């Protein structure tokens, strides 16, 4: 009879003892290359203006948004996403597809300033541009007309691509929006322009500060008729699969922190590059918590954003992108 083998007691803490050991086995990483910076650019102001509910976030002018874009390049942030605030609004949101609209002008100016040093992403929706604040054109009864709206999304996409957008990001949660945009881009000679689909965008309570920043609160009703019910998880997978079938190059879940289970599901179900949007309410919540002395801002931001990566996100749209880059540099 051979010797009896004994096995050592399992002691996982051995690998947590020093920073180098912890770094050696770290499963997820937060890096500048995984961040996208959202920016608000307004045609209705002459000087940049801080958003009251989002300290450190501004409505930018075209000149100041160029300066922020140049800063993003210097920090190693690979891309920005632009949300436009026009100087005029109407029922159809017609300035959204105007070649001289605020987003189109900003895209051309930023491209001129940074060349190919930054991915330019354009949000494709109508809520910032309509006088009623909904994400599409309305029927006589006040409902959003899905099919009429996606025709306009397609027109917006072509105008944004012509102005220099690398990626079009439809966010209205209209049925068929990705397919309509893909077809329009291809027919207009923009076949290389990618689509980032807000594939699972929930009707969340965390959008309040964004609506102040983008001046797009609905003048009546709400958006629950087209954004997803926060109670639903399986439905998100159907939405994602439809967008992929229609030609989405990248997909996104919005918001982030309260929907990490959906992010995990999406990562396990599909191979497309997957993003999350850490939304305005998440930003405001962390800022307010830190201001009240309840948490340490840097550690809380880094932990929450690392959790998004751990859940499966390849990239994160976050208002903290610049701060995260600086904090990571300090840690290096």
Q: How many residues does the chain have?
A: 332
Domain containing 301 equals 28-331
Q: Give residue 159's pLDDT band: very low, low, confident or very high (50, 70, 90).
A: very high
Q: What is the pLDDT of residue 267?
A: 97
This prediction has a pTM of: 0.95
CB neighbours of residue 76 within 10 Å: 14
In a domain, residue 309? The reply is: yes
Number of domains within the chain: 1
Check 254, 305, 309, 322 and give the catalytic one: 254
What digits encode the pLDDT tens for the residues 256-314? 999 999 999 999 999 999 999 999 999 999 999 999 999 999 999 999 999 999 999 99
Check 134, 201, 309, 322 and give the catalytic one: 201
Helix (H, G, I), strand (E, B) or coil at 40: strand
Angle at 40 between CA 34 and CA 41, to 5 degrees: 125
**pLDDT average, residue stretch 126-148:** 94
**3 pLDDT more than 80:** no
In a domain, residue 12? The reply is: no
In a domain, residue 59? The reply is: yes
More confident residue, 8 or 201: 201
Query: Is there a catalytic annotation at residue 287?
Result: no
In a domain, residue 315? The reply is: yes
What digits encode the pLDDT tens for the residues 282-293? 999 999 999 999
Q: What is the mean pLDDT of the chain?
A: 95
In a domain, residue 44? The reply is: yes
User: By C-alpha distance, which of 303, 319, 255 is closest to 53?
Assistant: 319
Pair type for strands 49-50 and 35-42: unpaired
Query: Is there a catalytic annotation at residue 201?
Result: yes
CA 265, 270, 275, 279 torsion: positive or negative?
Answer: negative
- pLDDT > 90: what percent of the chain? 89
Q: Give residue 13's pLDDT band: very low, low, confident or very high (50, 70, 90).
A: confident
The CATH number of the domain where 128 resides is what? 3.20.20.70
In a domain, residue 67? The reply is: yes
Q: Give residue 332's pLDDT band: very low, low, confident or very high (50, 70, 90).
A: confident
In a domain, residue 142? The reply is: yes
């Amino acid at each position: 009879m051979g010797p009896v083998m004994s096995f050592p007691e399992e002691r996982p803490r051995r690998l947590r003892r020093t920073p180098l050991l912890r770094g050696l086995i770290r499963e997820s990483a937060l890096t500048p290359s995984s961040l996208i910076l959202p920016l608000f650019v307004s045609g209705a102001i002459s000087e940049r203006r801080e958003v009251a509910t989002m300290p450190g976030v501004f409505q930018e002018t075209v000149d100041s948004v160029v300066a922020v874009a140049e800063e993003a390049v210097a920090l190693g942030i690979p891309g920005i996403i632009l949300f436009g605030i026009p100087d005029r609004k109407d029922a159809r949101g017609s300035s959204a597809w105007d070649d001289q609209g605020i987003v189109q002008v900003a895209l051309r100016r930023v491209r001129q300033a940074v060349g190919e040093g930054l991915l330019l992403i354009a949000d494709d929706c109508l809520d910032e541009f309509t006088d009623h604040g909904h994400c599409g054109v309305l029927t006589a009864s006040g409902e959003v007309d899905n099919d009429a709206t996606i025709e306009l999304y397609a027109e917006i996409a072509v105008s944004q691509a012509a102005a220099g957008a690398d990626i079009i990001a439809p966010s209205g949660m209209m049925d068929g929006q990705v397919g309509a945009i893909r077809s329009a881009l291809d027919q207009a000679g923009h076949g290389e322009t990618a689509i980032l689909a807000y594939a699972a965008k929930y009707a969340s309570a965390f959008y309040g500060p964004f609506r102040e920043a983008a001046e797009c609160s609905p003048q009546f009703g709400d958006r629950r008729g087209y954004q997803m019910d926060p109670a639903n998880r399986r439905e998100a997978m159907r939405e994602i699969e439809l967008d992929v079938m229609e030609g989405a190059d990248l997909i996104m879940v919005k918001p982030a922190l309260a929907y990490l289970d959906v992010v995990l599901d999406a990562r396990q179900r599909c191979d497309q590059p997957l993003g999350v949007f850490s939304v305005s309410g998440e930003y405001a919540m962390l800022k307010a918590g830190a201001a009240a002395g309840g948490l340490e801002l840097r550690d809380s931001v880094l932990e929450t954003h690392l959790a998004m990566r751990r859940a499966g996100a390849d990239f994160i749209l976050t208002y903290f992108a610049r701060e995260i880059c600086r904090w990571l540099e300090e840690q290096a």
